[in-house]
Structure 1
Amino acid sequence: MSDPTDNALPNPALDLCSEEEVTGLVHDFYARVREEPRLGPVFTARIHDWDAHLAQLVDFWSAMLRGTRRFKGAPMPKHMAMDELDRDLFDRWLALFRQTTAECGNPPMQRLADDVAERIADTFWRRFQMLRWPSLPMAGRPGVN
C-alpha cells in the first residue's frame, strides 16, 4: 500500500533542490517561452537584458523552492501594466511551465514549483481582471471559467 504522504506538497527547503536545479529550470523554461509562438513576442518586446532578467528569476524561484531570501523585486506592477495579457497567455505560460518541471527529474521540486506557478498565474490573472473590468463580477469577466 502506498504512503498517502508521498504526494504531499513539500515546503521550500535547501534540501528540496539545488541551486543548479533551480537555474536549470529557469533557463530551460524561459528558453521555451522565447520560442513559444504567443508568449515569445510578449517577452521579447519587454525584456531587453535577458541575462539580468534570468538572474532575477533564478533568485525568485530559489526563494520559492529553497527558501532563500535573495529575491528583491515587485513583479505585480510590471505585469499589470501589460495591456496585451489574456487568459490564453496565462494558460500557455502555465502549461509550458508544467511541461518543463515534468522533465526536471525531481518530483518534490516539480510539485512545489507547479503549485507556486499555478498560484502566481491565478493571482496575476485575477488582479489583471480586477484592474481591467472592476465593475464585472468574477463570473462575468473575460476568460473566467
Structure 2
Amino acid sequence: MPDPAIDKDRPPEEKPMDHPLVDRAFIGSLVRDFYGRVRSDPRLGPIFAAAIRDDWEPHLEKMTDFWCAVILKNGAYSGRPVPAHLKLKQVREDDFDIWLGYFRQTAESRCPPKVAAVFIERAERIAQSLKLAMFFRLEGPGASAA
C-alpha cells in the first residue's frame, strides 16, 4: 500500500503534451533554432563547438529525441545527460542562465504561449538538475572536512 505521506511530496506525474502543433518535426525545428542561437553565442558557442566539433547533425537528432521524450513522453531518448555534462569542465554555473535565456527566446518565438510555458518550465527543471549535479556535489563518505 502506498504511503500517503510520501506520495503527497511527489510532484504529479507529467502527462504527454497533446497539442496539434507539437510533434517530432515541430520539436526538431525548435531544437535546431535553439542550437543555432547557442552556437552564435560568444560564451556558449565555443563550449559546444569543442564538445560537438563538426558532428552537429547527430547531436541535433539526439536533442530532438531528448525533447520528444521530455514533452511527448515517447521514450525516444535513452542517454545519460548528467555524465555527459560532468565532462564539460569549462562550463560555469551562470552558463545555464545564458542557455535558459536562449531557450526561453526560442520557445516564446515559436510556440503558442501555453506550449511555450510547458517547454520553458521543463527546461528550467532540467537546468536546475544539471546545475545541482555539476556544481553542488556533496563529498562522499570519508571525505575530510575543510
Point out the more displaced range, 99-108 or 13-22: 13-22
Structure with the greater alpha carbon radius of gyration: 2
Give the drift of 1:45. 0.3
Structure-1 residue corresponding to 2:3: none
- Contact 2:27–2:67 (CA under 8 A) maintained in structure 1: yes
Write the distance in 2 (CA, Å) between the matches of 1:46 and 1:92: 18
- Contact 2:93–2:135 (CA under 8 A) maintained in structure 1: no
Name the structure with the higher helix share: 1
- Contact 1:65–1:109 (CA under 8 A) maintained in structure 2: no
Tell me how large the CA RMSD over aligned residues is: 1.9
Give the drift of 1:82. 1.3
Write the distance in 2 (CA, Å) between the matches of 1:104 and 1:31: 14
Count of residues in correspondence between the two structures: 125
Structure-2 residue corresponding to 1:46: 51
Residue type of the partner of 1:113? F
Write the distance in 2 (CA, Å) between the matches of 1:31 and 1:83: 22
Q: Tell whether 2:100 aligns with 1:94.
A: yes
For the structure 1 residues 107 and 11, does the alpha-carbon distance in structure 2 shift closer, same or farther, using more than 3 Å as the test? farther
**Structure 1, unpaired ranges of 5+:** 1-9, 136-145
Residue type of the partner of 2:48? F
**Alignment partner of 1:35 out of 36, 40, 45:** 40
SS of residue in 2 equivalent to 1:87:
coil
Give the drift of 1:18. 2.0
Residue type of the partner of 1:19? R
**Alignment partner of 2:19 out of 15, 19, 31:** 15
Write the distance in 2 (CA, Å) between the matches of 1:134 and 1:84: 21
**Alignment partner of 2:63 out of 51, 57, 67:** 57
**Alignment partner of 1:85 out of 84, 91, 102:** 91
Structure-1 residue corresponding to 2:5: none
Determine which structure has greater relative contact order: mean sequence separation of CA pairs < 8 Å that are 6+ residues apart, divided by chain length: 1
Give the drift of 1:14. 4.4
- Contact 1:14–1:67 (CA under 8 A) maintained in structure 2: no
